[in-house]
Structure 1
Amino acid sequence: MRLRALLAAAVLTITTAPAALAAPAVAHGSDVPPGQFGFVAKLAMTKIPRPDGSTYGSYCTGTLVAPGWVLTTGHCFHDAHRTRVSGKVPYPTTVTLGLVDEATESGVARKATEVLQAKENDVALVRLDTPVSTVTPLEVSRAVPKVGRQLTLAGWGSLTGTNPAPATRMQQGTVTVAKVDQTTLGVRGAAPEITTSACTYDSGAPYFADGELVAVEATGPGCPHAGIETTSRADVIADWIATHTA
Structure 2
Amino acid sequence: MLRRSLARVIGIAGFVVALAVGVSAPANAVANGVDALPDQFPYAVKLTMTDIPRPDGSKYNSACSAGLVAPQWIVTAGHCFHDVNRNPVSGPTPYKTTATLGKVDLADQGGVVVDVVEVRQAGVNDVALAKLSRPVYGIGTLRVGRHTPAVGEELVLAGWGATDSVNPTPGTHLRYGVVAVGALTATTAAVHGVWPKDDTSACTYDSGAPYFSYEYGVPTLVAVESDGPDCPHPNAETTSRVDLLTDWICQQIGH
Same fold (TM over 0.5): yes
Task: Give the one of 186, 208, 217 matched to 2:212.
Answer: 208
Shift of 1:105: 3.0
Partner of 1:52: 56
Query: Counterparts of 1:106 and 1:166 in 2: how far apart (Å)?
Result: 20
Q: Which protein is richer in helix relative to its size?
A: 2
Using CA pairs under 8 Å that are at least 6 residues apart, name the structure with larger relative contact order, 1 or 2.
Answer: 1
Instruction: Please say if 1:237 is aligned against 2:239.
Output: no
Query: Counterparts of 1:67 and 1:236 in 2: how far apart (Å)?
Result: 22
Task: Give the one of 227, 233, 236 matched to 1:219.
Answer: 227
Partner of 1:3: none
Task: Give the one of 27, 31, 35 matched to 1:31.
Answer: 35
Alignment of 1:57-96 (within 5 A): 57-96=61-100
Partner of 2:16: none
Task: Give the one of 132, 156, 161 matched to 2:160.
Answer: 156
Query: Counterparts of 1:113 and 1:72 in 2: how far apart (Å)?
Result: 14
Larger radius of gyration: 2
1:143 maps to amino acid: H
Query: Counterparts of 1:117 and 1:23 in 2: how far apart (Å)?
Result: 32
Runs of 4+ in 1 over 4 A off after TM superposition: none
Indicate if the aligned counterparts of 1:23 and 1:165 stay in contact, CA closer than 8 A: no
Instruction: Please say if 1:198 is aligned against 2:198.
Output: no
Partner of 2:173: 169
Q: Deviations over 1:178-219 (max 9, x none)?
A: 011100000000010000000010000000010100110000
Shift of 1:136: 1.7
Gaps of 5+ in 1: 1-21
Partner of 2:185: 181
Gaps of 5+ in 2: 1-25
Indicate if the aligned counterparts of 1:23 and 1:166 stay in contact, CA closer than 8 A: no
Query: Counterparts of 2:248 and 2:101 in 1: how far apart (Å)?
Result: 23
Query: Counterparts of 1:205 and 1:60 in 2: how far apart (Å)?
Result: 7
1:136 maps to amino acid: G
RMSD: 1.1
Query: Counterparts of 2:78 and 2:110 in 1: how far apart (Å)?
Result: 27
Give the secondary structure class of the aligned counterpart of 1:244.
Answer: helix
Shift of 1:23: 5.3
